[in-house]
Amino acid sequence: MLKKTVLTFAFLTILTTFYGFNAQFSAPVTDDMLLNEEKTGVPDNSLLTEGDYVISVYDNLIRNISEQEGHDWRLMSAIAYHESRFTADITSRSGARGLMQIMPSVARQFDVPQERVANPETNVWLANKLLSKIKTTLRLPESTSEKDRMALVLAAYNSGIGHVSDARRLARANGEDPNSWEVVARYLQLKADPAYYENAVVKCGRFTGSRQTLAYVNDVIGRYDKYCRITRR
Protein backbone atom coordinates (compact mmCIF):
# COMPACT_ATOMS: atom_id res chain seq x y z
CA MET A 1 0.00 0.00 0.00
CA LEU A 2 2.80 2.39 0.94
CA LYS A 3 4.65 1.57 -2.26
CA LYS A 4 1.51 2.27 -4.31
CA THR A 5 0.99 5.61 -2.56
CA VAL A 6 4.59 6.67 -3.15
CA LEU A 7 4.39 5.75 -6.83
CA THR A 8 1.11 7.65 -7.24
CA PHE A 9 2.56 10.74 -5.56
CA ALA A 10 5.66 10.58 -7.77
CA PHE A 11 3.52 10.29 -10.91
CA LEU A 12 1.38 13.28 -9.99
CA THR A 13 4.47 15.30 -9.12
CA ILE A 14 5.94 14.68 -12.58
CA LEU A 15 2.69 15.66 -14.27
CA THR A 16 2.32 18.80 -12.19
CA THR A 17 5.90 19.81 -12.95
CA PHE A 18 5.33 19.40 -16.67
CA TYR A 19 1.98 21.17 -16.94
CA GLY A 20 2.35 23.80 -14.23
CA PHE A 21 1.27 24.21 -10.66
CA ASN A 22 -2.40 24.82 -11.43
CA ALA A 23 -2.98 21.74 -13.59
CA GLN A 24 -4.44 18.98 -11.39
CA PHE A 25 -5.35 15.62 -12.86
CA SER A 26 -8.77 14.76 -11.45
CA ALA A 27 -12.45 15.21 -12.21
CA PRO A 28 -13.36 18.87 -12.87
CA VAL A 29 -16.46 18.66 -10.69
CA THR A 30 -17.61 16.42 -7.87
CA ASP A 31 -20.76 14.29 -7.89
CA ASP A 32 -22.25 16.52 -5.19
CA MET A 33 -21.73 19.59 -7.37
CA LEU A 34 -23.39 17.95 -10.36
CA LEU A 35 -26.29 16.79 -8.19
CA ASN A 36 -26.70 20.29 -6.76
CA GLU A 37 -26.80 21.82 -10.24
CA GLU A 38 -29.33 19.23 -11.40
CA LYS A 39 -31.60 19.99 -8.43
CA THR A 40 -31.40 23.77 -8.52
CA GLY A 41 -30.86 24.40 -12.23
CA VAL A 42 -28.22 26.96 -11.24
CA PRO A 43 -24.58 26.38 -12.31
CA ASP A 44 -22.22 25.86 -9.37
CA ASN A 45 -19.58 28.60 -9.63
CA SER A 46 -18.08 27.98 -6.20
CA LEU A 47 -14.32 27.67 -5.86
CA LEU A 48 -13.04 24.13 -6.03
CA THR A 49 -10.57 22.51 -3.68
CA GLU A 50 -7.37 20.72 -4.62
CA GLY A 51 -8.28 17.35 -6.07
CA ASP A 52 -11.60 18.61 -7.47
CA TYR A 53 -10.23 20.69 -10.34
CA VAL A 54 -8.27 20.09 -13.51
CA ILE A 55 -6.83 23.50 -14.39
CA SER A 56 -7.62 25.88 -11.54
CA VAL A 57 -9.95 26.44 -8.59
CA TYR A 58 -12.03 28.53 -11.02
CA ASP A 59 -12.79 25.61 -13.37
CA ASN A 60 -16.55 25.58 -12.67
CA LEU A 61 -16.90 29.35 -12.87
CA ILE A 62 -14.92 29.73 -16.10
CA ARG A 63 -16.57 26.70 -17.70
CA ASN A 64 -20.14 27.77 -16.89
CA ILE A 65 -19.79 31.39 -17.97
CA SER A 66 -17.77 30.58 -21.10
CA GLU A 67 -20.22 27.92 -22.25
CA GLN A 68 -23.09 30.40 -21.87
CA GLU A 69 -21.20 32.84 -24.10
CA GLY A 70 -20.18 30.17 -26.63
CA HIS A 71 -16.44 30.10 -25.91
CA ASP A 72 -14.09 27.26 -25.07
CA TRP A 73 -13.51 27.40 -21.31
CA ARG A 74 -10.04 25.93 -21.76
CA LEU A 75 -9.05 28.89 -23.94
CA MET A 76 -10.47 31.29 -21.35
CA SER A 77 -8.48 29.44 -18.68
CA ALA A 78 -5.32 29.80 -20.77
CA ILE A 79 -5.96 33.54 -20.99
CA ALA A 80 -6.54 33.71 -17.23
CA TYR A 81 -3.27 31.90 -16.57
CA HIS A 82 -1.31 34.28 -18.74
CA GLU A 83 -3.04 37.38 -17.43
CA SER A 84 -3.04 36.69 -13.69
CA ARG A 85 -1.85 33.16 -12.87
CA PHE A 86 -5.43 32.70 -11.61
CA THR A 87 -5.08 35.52 -9.07
CA ALA A 88 -8.33 37.44 -8.65
CA ASP A 89 -7.18 40.33 -6.47
CA ILE A 90 -4.45 41.92 -8.57
CA THR A 91 -4.33 45.21 -10.45
CA SER A 92 -1.70 46.03 -13.08
CA ARG A 93 0.13 49.34 -13.42
CA SER A 94 -2.17 50.19 -16.31
CA GLY A 95 -5.27 49.59 -14.18
CA ALA A 96 -6.25 46.15 -15.52
CA ARG A 97 -7.94 44.11 -12.81
CA GLY A 98 -8.75 40.56 -11.85
CA LEU A 99 -8.36 37.09 -13.30
CA MET A 100 -8.63 38.24 -16.91
CA GLN A 101 -6.98 41.65 -16.34
CA ILE A 102 -9.95 43.70 -17.49
CA MET A 103 -9.28 47.36 -18.26
CA PRO A 104 -11.64 50.08 -16.94
CA SER A 105 -12.56 50.98 -20.54
CA VAL A 106 -13.86 47.44 -21.13
CA ALA A 107 -16.05 47.61 -18.02
CA ARG A 108 -17.49 50.90 -19.27
CA GLN A 109 -18.29 49.36 -22.66
CA PHE A 110 -20.54 46.85 -20.93
CA ASP A 111 -21.93 49.22 -18.27
CA VAL A 112 -20.25 47.44 -15.36
CA PRO A 113 -19.37 49.59 -12.31
CA GLN A 114 -15.64 49.69 -11.58
CA GLU A 115 -16.14 48.34 -8.06
CA ARG A 116 -17.49 45.09 -9.52
CA VAL A 117 -14.72 44.45 -12.04
CA ALA A 118 -12.47 42.45 -9.69
CA ASN A 119 -15.29 40.05 -8.78
CA PRO A 120 -14.28 36.74 -10.47
CA GLU A 121 -17.69 36.05 -12.02
CA THR A 122 -18.00 39.59 -13.36
CA ASN A 123 -14.39 39.56 -14.55
CA VAL A 124 -14.75 36.32 -16.50
CA TRP A 125 -18.11 37.48 -17.90
CA LEU A 126 -16.51 40.70 -19.16
CA ALA A 127 -13.66 38.76 -20.79
CA ASN A 128 -16.16 36.55 -22.61
CA LYS A 129 -18.19 39.55 -23.72
CA LEU A 130 -15.03 41.22 -25.02
CA LEU A 131 -14.05 38.10 -26.96
CA SER A 132 -17.52 37.99 -28.54
CA LYS A 133 -17.24 41.66 -29.51
CA ILE A 134 -13.81 41.08 -31.03
CA LYS A 135 -15.11 38.17 -33.14
CA THR A 136 -18.07 40.24 -34.33
CA THR A 137 -15.90 43.27 -35.16
CA LEU A 138 -13.22 41.33 -37.04
CA ARG A 139 -15.85 39.60 -39.19
CA LEU A 140 -13.52 36.83 -40.22
CA PRO A 141 -14.89 34.72 -43.09
CA GLU A 142 -15.91 31.12 -42.43
CA SER A 143 -13.02 29.95 -44.58
CA THR A 144 -10.52 31.31 -42.01
CA SER A 145 -8.67 28.43 -40.37
CA GLU A 146 -9.31 27.82 -36.68
CA LYS A 147 -5.65 28.51 -35.89
CA ASP A 148 -5.66 31.86 -37.71
CA ARG A 149 -9.01 32.80 -36.19
CA MET A 150 -7.86 32.09 -32.64
CA ALA A 151 -4.56 33.92 -33.11
CA LEU A 152 -6.22 37.04 -34.58
CA VAL A 153 -8.80 37.17 -31.78
CA LEU A 154 -6.14 36.76 -29.10
CA ALA A 155 -3.99 39.45 -30.72
CA ALA A 156 -6.95 41.82 -30.60
CA TYR A 157 -7.62 40.90 -26.96
CA ASN A 158 -4.04 41.81 -26.12
CA SER A 159 -3.32 44.81 -28.35
CA GLY A 160 -6.79 46.12 -29.12
CA ILE A 161 -9.14 45.56 -32.03
CA GLY A 162 -7.96 48.78 -33.71
CA HIS A 163 -4.34 47.76 -34.20
CA VAL A 164 -5.25 44.31 -35.53
CA SER A 165 -7.79 45.87 -37.88
CA ASP A 166 -5.11 48.31 -39.08
CA ALA A 167 -2.73 45.42 -39.77
CA ARG A 168 -5.45 43.60 -41.71
CA ARG A 169 -6.17 46.72 -43.78
CA LEU A 170 -2.47 47.10 -44.55
CA ALA A 171 -2.33 43.45 -45.62
CA ARG A 172 -5.33 43.92 -47.91
CA ALA A 173 -3.92 47.15 -49.36
CA ASN A 174 -0.72 45.32 -50.23
CA GLY A 175 -2.49 42.39 -51.87
CA GLU A 176 -1.96 39.95 -49.01
CA ASP A 177 -4.33 37.79 -46.98
CA PRO A 178 -5.89 39.81 -44.11
CA ASN A 179 -7.16 36.58 -42.53
CA SER A 180 -3.73 34.97 -42.15
CA TRP A 181 -2.15 35.37 -38.72
CA GLU A 182 1.33 35.06 -40.24
CA VAL A 183 0.60 37.99 -42.57
CA VAL A 184 -1.18 40.14 -39.98
CA ALA A 185 1.55 39.53 -37.40
CA ARG A 186 4.10 40.90 -39.86
CA TYR A 187 2.07 44.06 -40.43
CA LEU A 188 1.61 44.53 -36.69
CA GLN A 189 5.41 44.66 -36.48
CA LEU A 190 5.58 47.05 -39.43
CA LYS A 191 3.16 49.44 -37.71
CA ALA A 192 6.14 50.80 -35.76
CA ASP A 193 7.50 52.16 -39.06
CA PRO A 194 6.15 55.54 -40.27
CA ALA A 195 6.19 54.21 -43.82
CA TYR A 196 3.32 51.96 -42.68
CA TYR A 197 1.54 53.67 -39.78
CA GLU A 198 1.21 56.89 -41.81
CA ASN A 199 -0.61 54.99 -44.55
CA ALA A 200 -4.14 56.31 -45.17
CA VAL A 201 -5.73 52.95 -44.27
CA VAL A 202 -4.29 53.07 -40.74
CA LYS A 203 -6.77 54.44 -38.20
CA CYS A 204 -5.01 53.84 -34.86
CA GLY A 205 -1.53 55.16 -35.60
CA ARG A 206 1.79 53.78 -34.49
CA PHE A 207 2.04 50.43 -32.71
CA THR A 208 5.15 49.47 -30.73
CA GLY A 209 3.82 46.48 -28.78
CA SER A 210 4.06 43.83 -31.48
CA ARG A 211 6.73 41.78 -29.69
CA GLN A 212 4.53 41.49 -26.61
CA THR A 213 1.44 40.67 -28.66
CA LEU A 214 3.15 37.94 -30.69
CA ALA A 215 4.56 36.38 -27.52
CA TYR A 216 1.11 36.59 -25.90
CA VAL A 217 -0.57 34.77 -28.79
CA ASN A 218 2.06 32.02 -28.83
CA ASP A 219 1.95 31.54 -25.07
CA VAL A 220 -1.85 31.40 -24.77
CA ILE A 221 -2.26 29.03 -27.73
CA GLY A 222 0.50 26.79 -26.40
CA ARG A 223 -1.13 26.62 -22.97
CA TYR A 224 -4.56 26.09 -24.53
CA ASP A 225 -3.17 23.09 -26.42
CA LYS A 226 -1.89 21.65 -23.12
CA TYR A 227 -5.23 22.19 -21.43
CA CYS A 228 -6.98 20.44 -24.33
CA ARG A 229 -4.77 17.40 -23.76
CA ILE A 230 -5.56 17.12 -20.07
CA THR A 231 -9.31 17.79 -20.01
CA ARG A 232 -12.47 17.55 -22.06
CA ARG A 233 -14.37 20.43 -23.66
Instruction: List the catalytic residue out of 38, 50, 69, 83.
Output: 83
How far is CA 214 from its chain centroid?
Answer: 14
Is residue 213 a contact partner of residue 158, using CB atoms and an 8 Å limit?
yes
pTM (2 d.p.): 0.79
What's the CATH fold of domain 27-48+56-136?
A: Lysozyme (1.10.530)
Q: Annotated catalytic, 50?
A: no
Where does the chain hold its CATH 1.10.530.10 domain(s)? 27-48+56-136
Q: How many CB atoms lie within 10 A of CB 185?
A: 20
Within the chain, how many helices (H) and strands (E) appear?
11, 0
DSSP string, 99-164: TTTB-HHHHHHTT--GGGTTSHHHHHHHHHHHHHHHHHHHT--TTS-HHHHHHHHHHHHHH-HHHH
Euclidean distance between CA atoms 123 and 208, whole angstroms? 27
Confidence (pLDDT) at 170: 98
pLDDT for the residue 233 = 74
> Which DSSP category does 88 fall into?
T
Residue 185: its pLDDT value, please?
Answer: 98
Q: Going residue by residue through the chain (233 aa), what tens digit of pLDDT does each one get?
A: 444 444 443 433 333 333 333 333 233 333 343 334 444 455 666 666 666 789 999 999 999 999 999 999 999 999 999 999 999 999 999 999 999 999 999 999 999 999 999 999 999 999 999 999 999 999 999 999 999 999 999 999 999 999 999 999 999 999 999 999 999 999 999 999 999 999 999 999 999 999 999 999 999 999 999 999 999 77
Q: What is the pLDDT of residue 43?
A: 63
- Torsion angles phi and psi, residue 61, rounded to 5: -60, -50
